[in-house]
A and B are shown apart, each in its own frame.
Chain A
Amino acid sequence: MAGQQLINGNFERFLRRKRLIGRIFWVLLLISTLAGLIMLAALLIDLALEGASWLTPTLFTNYHSRHPEQAGMKSAIVGSLIILALTALFSFPLGVGAAVYLEEYAPKNRLTEFININISNLGGVPSVVYGMLGLTVFSRGFGLFKPNSWLVQALNLPVDPRNGLIFSVLGLEMRLPLGNSLLTGGLAMTLLILPTVIMASREAIRAVPNSIREAAFGLGATRWQVVSRQVLPAAFPGILTGMILALSRAMGEAAPLIILGAFTYVPFLPRTIWDQFTVMPIQIYNWITLPQPEYRVHLSGAGILVLVAVLLSMNALAIYLRNRFEKRW
């Protein structure tokens, strides 16, 4: 009897201690979850304190200037929007095309497996590497269009030492190599976000139930008819959401474009895709590196507020689209 009581007493104490440890652990978990949120709040408050008062119309109407009060980032905003548009234009068909191939067409073989592994590895390649890829391939064209290259000498091409080969296709001016142009930036950004776009599109396509495909096949539709009229329309909201999220990542990237030779001082608006450009993150980085606190702290803070506002509205749009058009099968 006494022994029984002892065990009971020990057990009660043991259980109480365990429960206490459990509660302490719970608090620890909550604190670590909130730590990220606290950092986010600190970041936003810091930005608002340093930058909000510098958020003036001149930021949108002026170019970079020697006088911080008159400096703006007009060309950077326009540059960012054009890069965004070009990246969307290239990455949408390429990304969705690859996703459709891998989900709907690809046979189960070694090549498909290799492409799959390859895409997931590309997703982890640092963004600077994409910048260097773009610099060598797009911007310089492997140096094939320099006056002394073997290609130019063999074909006797009329190259200009500065701009390379200039010719026209259907009345449109073309240049090889692409140089420090908006086009180069858009192409490098496309390669950077393609893995993300492909993975998001694949997930959206996979979520379309097989019964839809089978019904369409049963009516005699070809594979492309099934894909283009049934699967893609059904998967479109998901694809679009992934696309917007990927684009917002591209919009915040500075490193690859710095390596591509995007300029920091661009006192004009681009008129063609062959023009030089700058983007918001580069302009902000440039201001951060200047010694005067007006640039380093305040103007860059205001610039970041603009950038973050654009990114947050893109993210909000993606979330809205997902909730509005999401289908539960």
Chain B
Amino acid sequence: MAGLSRLLPASRAVSSPDQKGVFSTGLSWRLRRIYEQIIKASLFLCGLLSVLTTIGIIVSLFGEAIGFFLRPEVDLYHFLTSTMWRPLGRPVSPDNFGIMPLVNGTLMVAVLSGAIAVPLGLLSAIFLSEYAPERLRSVLKPVLEILAGVPSVVYGYFAISFITPIIRNLADWVNSIAGTAIQVDFFNALSASIVMGVMILPLVSSISEDAMRSVPQALREGAYALGATKLEVALRVVVPAALSGILAGFILAFSRAAGETMIVAVAAGSTPRVTLNPLSSIQTMTGFIVQVSFGDTPMGSINSQSIYAVGATLFIMTFIMNVISNYIMRRFREVYE
């Protein structure tokens, strides 16, 4: 309001904007225009920084990754097809640098955590959007969102100190009753996936809920008028109408799980292997990157360059998923607004 009172007498006093003293800063009109242009240019640069960041990511990841592939010990063909990832294996051969085990680990953890987060997140979104009274919702929603704010290293701790012992005891119990021989590694994909599922649960739930709440009320009322029950309205009207938004949320959550690092670094192990057994120790792409960085690898060695090849693969995978998710989300917005 101070700016307003300073402007008022001035604008009453002047007839042409060329005169000095029109504006409170005391700048002439021309200087003021230049000043405005400078401000606009610097704000534009702030906006452009995001583009520069993307370029920086692409140049640094792919530049170093190309350096990796130009080495005589490795080649792109074996990188994509070999089922062994043994960067410390001797002798160094292209066969030891196959990305498959790491991709296998990443996808397994992402799929398993999705299998936990998707049903729970979708059901809790239906509850929050369609069933819960406003007061209950205003309490439950922020508490659920705390789950997304817990640091991932804390989830990793939770996985090995709480979930892993439960899984192992459960397996022992099953073994003693059924006489099976289920073996659970201390570091295993399942434990990491369970806590990862808990971590991405709020993401699934809040995006799905947003999608459901933007379904027009008239659709629900129309269904009620035809004699539908609440359950039928929720499952046969609201969920299908919000499906594209829900789907976008699923993909986003999947990509988040694929890029998550500390949980898998702590709890999933460091044994890159191609397997479908979630009870065995595995390694994900992010897990490998952290393992290499956490130890002392000399700069320029094959190991320190290999993380860029792995990082570039991860970046491409998550980027494709994000683009698909954004595309679906954009289309869906057009429908209801």
Contact = CB atoms under 8 A, between A and B. Distances in A.
B278 interface: no
Contact of A285 (B51, B265, B286): B265
A21 interface: yes
B94 interface: no
Contacts of A315: 146, 149
B151 A191 contact: no
Contact of A119 (B4, B22, B50, B314): B50
Nearest to A308: B154
A311 B150 CA distance: 8
B261 A126 contact: yes
A161 interface: no
A284 B161 CA distance: 14
Contact of B290 (A28, A191, A258): A258
A94 B46 contact: yes
Contacts of B290: 128, 255, 258-259
B323 to A, nearest CB: 7
Contact of B319 (A28, A125, A264, A297): A125
Interface stretch (B52-60, B71-79, B173-181, B216-224): B52-60
Contacts of B152: 252-255
B123 A29 contact: yes
Contacts of A258: 290, 293-294
Residue in B124, B126, B156, B252 whose Cβ sees the most chain A Cβ within 10 Å: B124
Contacts of B36: 222-224
Interface stretch (B37-45, B85-93, B236-244): B37-45
B143 A254 contact: no
B94 to A, nearest CB: 23
Contact of B315 (A129, A245, A289, A311): A129
Interface in A111-135: 114-115, 117-122, 124-133, 135
A40 B157 contact: no
B318 A194 contact: no
A118 B48 CA distance: 10
Interface stretch (A66-74, A95-103, A164-172): A95-103
A219 B4 contact: yes
B154 A304 contact: yes
B262 interface: yes
Given A126-B314, A137-B60, A224-B36, A46 B322 contact: no
Contacts of A297: 161
A258 B252 CA distance: 25
A311 B315 CA distance: 28
B51 A129 contact: no
Contacts of B155: 43
A26 B131 contact: yes
Nearest to B124: A33
A319 B138 CA distance: 13
A311 B319 CA distance: 29
Nearest to B158: A43
Name the residue among B46, B120, B143 with the largest chain A CB count within 10 angstroms: B46
Contact of A252 (B35, B53, B153, B160): B153
A191 B149 CA distance: 19
Interface centre among B51, B56, B146, B262 (most CB of A within 10 A): B262
A288 B153 contact: yes
Contact of B161 (A36, A40, A50, A219): A50
B133 interface: no
A258 B286 CA distance: 12
Contacts of A39: 147, 198
A221 B311 contact: no
Given A37-B144, A121-B322, A255-B261, A22 B230 contact: yes
A307 B46 contact: no
B261 A115 contact: no
Pick from B50, B54, B258 the residue with the most CB of A within 10 Å: B50
A261 interface: yes
7 A-B pairs with least C-beta separation: A126-B259, A252-B151, A97-B46, A136-B60, A32-B123, A124-B322, A255-B261
Given A29-B126, A253-B152, A255-B289, 10 more contacts: A33-B132, A39-B198, A46-B161, A47-B158, A98-B47, A124-B319, A216-B3, A220-B17, A284-B154, A284-B157
19 contacts: A19-B229, A32-B127, A37-B140, A97-B42, A121-B323, A124-B325, A129-B311, A130-B57, A132-B307, A133-B57, A223-B36, A252-B151, A252-B153, A254-B153, A255-B152, A285-B265, A288-B156, A288-B157, A315-B146
Interface of B: 2-4, 7-8, 11, 17, 22-23, 32, 35-36, 39-40, 42-51, 53-54, 56-57, 60-61, 63-64, 119-120, 123-124, 126-128, 131-132, 140, 142-144, 146-147, 149-158, 160-162, 198, 201-202, 205, 229-231, 252, 255-256, 258-262, 265-266, 286, 289-290, 293-294, 299, 307-308, 311, 314-315, 318-319, 321-323, 325-326
Interface of A: 18-19, 21-22, 25-26, 28-30, 32-33, 35-37, 39-40, 42-43, 46-47, 50, 93-95, 97-98, 100-102, 105-106, 114-115, 117-122, 124-133, 135-137, 140, 142, 191, 194-195, 198, 216, 219-225, 229-230, 245, 248-249, 251-255, 258-259, 261, 264, 281, 284-285, 288-289, 297, 300-301, 304, 307-308, 311, 315, 319
